[in-house]
Chains A and B, each alone.
Chain A
């Protein structure tokens, strides 16, 4: 009897980790927030960001199903990834915007030089 108790004490931590995992509601909210932010800055229109956004959205969907099925641990794992993918999509969308701004500034600079040359700007 004493030996059986010792065995349970040794093996319980190995198998008990999967039991009664709390619902990752905060992680879900964080992941959804990151995904929404990415969409708001135009991740849908940036090729590099589209993939990251899609991953975030898919993982959020899978996590929600897992939570419904009571597999909160799997949901937690998915949401950790989804949040990071959302943040990456946001950064990639901003990178595209920055690139567009750069091209616009270069075009404006060229226009300015042309206009100054045509109008004979005094310097």
Chain B
């Protein structure tokens, strides 16, 4: 009787323990195992989020232990469910980190590219500034040069005007279509019937030469000799030519470029006054220095 009671008690106990021990694993554990195998075989998850994958492994171990010790209990299913979710969590975190890394690389590349562009633009700007500064300097130099040139020109014009004013004291100076005409009386320059310059004439021609030097250096100068109508025409022609030549040579000796100056005798052919009176004849005996402006308008 006693033995029978023990058998009954042990049978009930075995029944209670046997309810916890399942031969087949619960679906949650199957899913957890599958998920972990997938994640652990995925090199990316193991490499990118080893910490969470390790947590998943530990959680799976807890579930396996629970199943081994207790069978298919609610606790085993809960631990299995957690192992499944923790594995999925590790996969999500790994993918997110990979995505974040790619985003960071793209942004870094953008920043590097932008930095490079800004540096290039800054260098180009610096070059432009240097060029502008150089051009400004050149313009300033040109302005100074122009100002200097203007000053020199004004000074030269002033000196030329003064020279002409000085000339006007002993010679007639007129502007005509053929140019500026400086008329010197023959009696001031030469003795009667002679073509040698008088000493006093040289002083006056010195002033004429100074004035001409200050004039436009490109202008051409023609020295014209004129006589009155007394005497033979060939003689007058020859005398006027020699006198013009004498004046021309003297001007060249005073520094006027020889290629600027020519001479020509006109005899009595171009009288400017009546040859019947002494006064008229005196006016006709003359040397005219014609300054022809250069064609460039200088």
Chain B min CB distance to A4 (Å): 9
Partner of A98, one of B74, B86, B96, B116: B96
Asked if A88 meets B116 with Cβ closer than 8 Å, knowing A77-B78, A81-B78, A81-B81, the reply is: no
Smallest beta-carbon distance A101→chain B, Å:
5
B95 within 8 A of A: yes
Chain A residue with Cβ nearest B92: A91
Interface of A is mostly: helix
In the complex, how many angstroms separate the beta carbon of B237 from the nearest chain A beta carbon? 81
In Å, the complex CA distance between A109 and B111 comes to 10
> Could you tell me if B85 and A85 are in contact, using CB atoms closer than 8 angstroms?
yes
A-side contacts of B12, CB under 8 Å: 11
Q: How far in angstroms is the closest Cβ of chain B from A20?
A: 17
The answer to whether the Cβ of B154 comes within 8 Å of any Cβ in the partner chain is no
Interface residues on B, range: 35 or more
Answer yes or no: A65 CB below 8 A from chain B CBs.
no
Q: Give residues of chain A (57-98) contacting chain B, Cβ–Cβ below 8 Å.
A: 74, 77, 80-81, 84-85, 87-88, 91-92, 94-95, 98
Q: A105 in the interface, Cβ–Cβ < 8 Å?
A: yes
Closest to A102 in B: B103
**CB closest residue in chain B, given A55:** B85
Pairwise interchain contact A88-B92, C-beta atoms closer than 8 A = yes
* Residues of B contacting A92 in the complex (Cβ-Cβ under 8 angstroms): 92
Q: Type the 1/0 row for B70-108, where 1 means its CB is closer than 8 Å to any CB of A.
A: 000011001001100110110011011001101100110
Q: Considering only CB atoms, which chain B residue lies closest to A112 in the complex?
A: B110
Spell out A's residues near B (CB within 8 Å).
3, 7, 10-11, 14-15, 74, 77, 80-81, 84-85, 87-88, 91-92, 94-95, 98-99, 101-102, 105-106, 108-109, 112-113, 116, 121-123
**Which 5 interchain pairs have the tightest Cβ spacing?**
A122-B120, A98-B99, A84-B85, A105-B106, A123-B120
